[in-house]
Structure 1
Amino acid sequence: MASFWARVPSDYLTRAQQFTKTLHHELYPAVDPSKPELSLPGKVVIITGASRGIGADGFAVSFAQAGVKGLVLVARDADKLNETVSKVHATNPAVEVLPVVADVADENAVALVYAQCEAKFGHADILINNAGIVKANGALPGDVKPADWWRNIEVNGKGTFLMMHALVNSLPTLDTPVTIINITSGAAWHSPVPMLSGYAISKLVALQEAAYFAACYKNITAFAVHPGLVRTDMTHDSMMHMDSQPPELVGGLAVWLSHPHALFLNGRVVANTWDVDELMARKEEILSGKKLTIGLFGTFGPEQFE
């Protein structure tokens, strides 16, 4: 893996997956969560993987800047989770914070997350499925331990589903609107990278879960967000020279997606680096086809043989 990334330009990832003419590597005005027009008063947000990385420094801080009513912060590390609580209160002391120690791959633990959320806030309005792992990096899928490979699916796929499933069943009615943001990866739709098979496939699961829940429930607006390369302790050393984005950029995008103006992207993939104003300008183009969705390419149907 190291030799591959050493050979590619630093902007390889963003250029290979470019959809808008303008690409962003810093927070920009359109997605600035401190803007009054992006405020989210009264909203309750659940953020998984909230103890570090983009969960702590991106989503938690950005939604606090947007003035939400409450944050339910979920992670497995209690000490790190309390550090995130401090960051939130330093950003906006008015936000009520509920830290919950839980493994999202455990169905009983997920049930307790929602029970505590209901007891303190009632139902949640926004769910950020950010918890994720990268395990079993091998030269080929057959070179890794099956249990390690499958753990990617358990957390990134099953854990995301459990949080979405429990959210639906926690709502007062199926007319109650909610927004779901699943964190995916460019690896989920890019040409196969053999050494990341478990991670890439698990992130494809999370991507398609957003599409399916959006299709199945009229009250759910769901997105699969590719955060770009945000340097965390999950970033491989060989990729440290690649262009990266700060946590606050994906945090600001998540806030922007939590408003009605983003409905046209429901069930679709959105990359952190894409310019949202340019996406808005291409709204009809995106809606008229299957842009920003996953599909099988080819010519299908009996008509082709007539």
Structure 2
Amino acid sequence: MAFRHLTKTIHHTVYPAISPSNPLNSAHGKTVIISGGASGIGYGIAQAFAAAGAATVVIIARRQVALDEASTKLCAEIASMGNKTVVWTYLLDITKEAAVGDAFDDIRKRLNEGVEPNTQLKDADVLVTSAAHVGQGETTLNYSPQAYRDAFETNLFGNLNLTRAFLKPEIPAIPMATLDRRAKQTSPFLHTHTHKQKIILDVSTLSTHVVFPGQATYATSKIAFTRAMQQLQNEVDGLPGTPIRIHSFHPGAVFTPAIASQFGGKLEGFDWDDESLPGGFAVWLASPAAAFLKGRFLLSNWDVEELIALKEKYEEDPEFGTLSLKT
């Protein structure tokens, strides 16, 4: 199926406007948590935030060996750049809600070691939901019910666990009015913390828009979380000061270990993207320049300067660049 791009320029690797070394994309002082950060796209994003000067990069993964290898490699890269980014690792199954909550509580505890009493507590700044359950190769009805459950456990419920733990301090303040106009009881906690902005980067997929063969479990579970994030952005927009923004984006066609395990090797003639592309794009999305794109779906291949040129259209049309019905 053909897909109509929003920009004329299509990128396949990092370029100056989204480069982590571009001062406009600085992540100085930020704490960034990346699930699935030990390999593939997640690791590329970890590299990019480290290169952009993040204070702390937290890598979450399910295999200790992968965590150790990623941490050793990333720390060596940081040292070669002369940066001071600290790398923390957590062995974690994101489908286990209690374990996710414990991990985020520990992150907050470590961030606030040595903080003076009665001062504002530190918290993580950016959450990147990069861990994914990838399914490929069956027809929609040939996938077993368990295959669907497995995909949703990670791609929806696991990512919701991460989001819930990341926004734990803010959740009591998020307002909502139901269809019958009953308002949720909220806490004023966040109203004294409006200078702090949190960013969620949903590493989504083009499969949420385009029907690709053999991706029924992957596409349906990924679109479920991306739609949940669209819903959440609408809710948190009711908070004063725009303290939370969410961006969902297709990372590109990157030949990751997960893809290799599905296909067995690179598809000949396929135009693959470099893993530096989603890394740089994620860093740019976390910068102030991308604030107008909150709640929208993007492709990391799109040229950001052309996106900025469309800023007025984005601001005028709240459905532009979202998951919506074309009529």
TM-score bucket of the superposed structures, by smaller chain: 0.7 to 0.9
Structure 1: 5+ residue stretches without partners: 1-11, 299-306
Task: Deviation per CA, 1:87-110: give whole Å up to 9, x if none.
Answer: 321222311111000011110121
Partner of 1:7: none
SS of equivalent to 2:151: helix
SS of equivalent to 2:219: helix
Residue 209 (structure 1) shift:
2.5
Counterpart-to-counterpart distance in 2, 1:234 and 1:101? 18
SS of equivalent to 1:161: helix
Partner of 1:153: 152
Partner of 1:173: 190
Residue 166 (structure 1) shift:
1.1
Structure-to-structure mapping, 1:11-160, within 5 angstroms: 16-56=3-43, 58-93=44-79, 94-121=84-111, 122-135=122-135, 137-138=137-138, 140-160=139-159
* Corresponding residue to 2:208 among 165, 179, 188: 188
Length-normalised TM-score, structure 1 = 0.87
Length-normalised TM-score, structure 2 = 0.82
Is the deviation greater in 194-203 or in 44-53? 194-203
Counterpart-to-counterpart distance in 1, 2:324 and 2:85? 41
Instruction: Establish whether residue 207 from structure 1 lines up as the match of residue 226 from structure 2.
Output: yes
SS of equivalent to 2:94: coil
Contact (CA 8 Å) 2:143, 2:217: kept in 1 or not? no
Counterpart-to-counterpart distance in 2, 1:210 and 1:239? 32
Counterpart-to-counterpart distance in 1, 2:85 and 2:169? 22
Counterpart-to-counterpart distance in 1, 2:268 and 2:223? 24
SS of equivalent to 2:215: helix
Residue 238 (structure 1) shift:
7.0
Partner of 2:116: none
Q: Percent identity?
A: 30
Partner amino acid, structure 1, of 2:123: H
Q: How many residues align?
A: 282
Task: Deviation per CA, 1:137-176: give whole Å up to 9, x if none.
Answer: 41x2211211112211110111111111111114583633
Residue 220 (structure 1) shift:
1.0
What is the RMSD computed on CA atoms of the aligned residues?
1.8
SS of equivalent to 1:169: coil
Contact (CA 8 Å) 2:246, 2:294: kept in 1 or not? yes
CA distance change for structure 1 residues 157 and 137 in 2, over 3 Å: closer, same or farther?
A: farther
Residue 136 (structure 1) shift:
6.1
Larger helix proportion of the pair: 1
Task: Deviation per CA, 1:220-265: give whole Å up to 9, x if none.
Answer: 1101010110001222347453111111111101110111111110
Partner amino acid, structure 2, of 1:131: A
Task: Deviation per CA, 1:58-107: give whole Å up to 9, x if none.
Answer: 11100000101101110001111112112321222311111000011110
SS of equivalent to 1:27: coil
